[in-house]
Homo-oligomer: A and B are copies of this chain.
Amino acid sequence: MTKKKRITLKDIANEFNVSIATVSKALNDSYEISAKTKSKIQQYAQKHHYKPNSIALNLQNRKTKTIGVIIPNILNHFFTKVFVGIEKVATEKGYNLITCISNESYEKEVSAMELLKNSALDGFILSIAEETQIKQNFSHFQNTINQGIPIVMFDRVTDEIECDKVIVNDKEGAYNATNYFIETGCKNIAIVSTIHNLSVGKLRLQGYKKALQEANIPVDEALILKVDEFHDIDTLLKIVLDSKKVDAMLCLEEDSAVSTLRMVCSKGYKVPEDISIIGFTNGVLPRHVTPAITTISQHGIYLGETATKMLIERLENEDSETSHTTKVIKTNLIERDTTKPLPY
């Protein structure tokens, strides 16, 4: 099997002893070219599987129809779902995705951005790495924007950068969940956070506090469990369960919800009779553990779709210097077996 080299305009031009320009025009169905020339060239091109060299086109247009995607952690189910949404819309609109995983690292995020920019893409869709949110160093984003490359941020965003954003209504999600606890008779509501460094973590905490305040329940800092490299979740849970009366726990992401459920059960509490649990992110895990965990769905796929549409919209209307917008995706509560039913 011999390698068929890709055929170019030049090859076709030689074949018919016409100029390259004629071939180009013929293939683009220009009115300048006679019908019969057009048809013979088009036929020949078809037969020989002519495909324009898109690198050459890109050089000319300074457009690549490529979107750079940077995701903090693809093993996180929420991000996987967002990615599915991004991929779906991108493919529909004929865009390619070029993807890096920042692995929550600032270094990696910066270098990924460099790498991707070097391969020339039209814009970015990204969610900020945890380390970057801690460092609060966003200059690589600003530089990118200054170079004329638009960014759409999703989920983990920052006010410091002006760009299009798609976020989840985290505050409201936590607020609603906390209210749900309150309405089903819970009063001592703990919160388990592994993500207090993230913008989303902070918003969720705000929503929790707001609901408590509205219900005239004092915020007890001892019930706010911050899991980090120095404080593992099991220890924190044990301490609070042994020292405090707790009848509900709001977990700020999927994995800690599962861990919390385990610990609560192993301590002999009945779920949801003694302790109710709600967790953020409606992944596979909460649905499959026993009892199945009530979750707050963030509609990852829809979020990804929305972000991609926003970016493509901006790319294809560069003339219109519209200002940047932030879209908010509503969460909703998916009731399962770790919460009591609402009273009617």
A residues apposed to B, CB below 8 Å? 1, 3-6, 51, 53-56, 58-59, 64-66, 74-75, 80-81, 83-84, 87, 91, 94, 96-101, 108, 111-112, 115-120, 145-148, 258, 284-285, 288-290
Task: Give the CA-CA distance A94 to B89 in the complex, in Å.
Answer: 27
Task: Give the CA-CA distance A146 to B91 in the complex, in Å.
Answer: 25
Task: Give the CA-CA distance A112 to B87 in the complex, in Å.
Answer: 11
* Top 5 closest pairs, chain A to chain B, by CB: A3-B148, A98-B98, A54-B118, A55-B58, A55-B120
* Known interface pairs A59-B59, A87-B101, A99-B99; 9 further A-B residue pairs with C-beta atoms within 8 A, sorted by A's residue number: A1-B145, A4-B147, A6-B147, A55-B58, A74-B83, A80-B80, A91-B115, A96-B116, A98-B98
Task: Give the CA-CA distance A208 to B99 in the complex, in Å.
Answer: 38
B residues near A56, Cβ cutoff 8 Å: 59
In the assembly, how many copies of this chain are there?
2
| Residue from B51, B91, B290 within 8 A of A290 (CB atoms) | B290
B residues near A53, Cβ cutoff 8 Å: 59, 120
Cβ–Cβ contact B97 & A100, under 8 A: yes
Task: Give the CA-CA distance A101 to B118 in the complex, in Å.
Answer: 24
List 13 interface pairs A-B (beta carbons < 8 Å), by A numbering. Answer: A3-B147, A4-B146, A5-B148, A51-B118, A54-B120, A66-B119, A75-B81, A91-B100, A91-B115, A96-B116, A97-B100, A98-B98, A285-B285
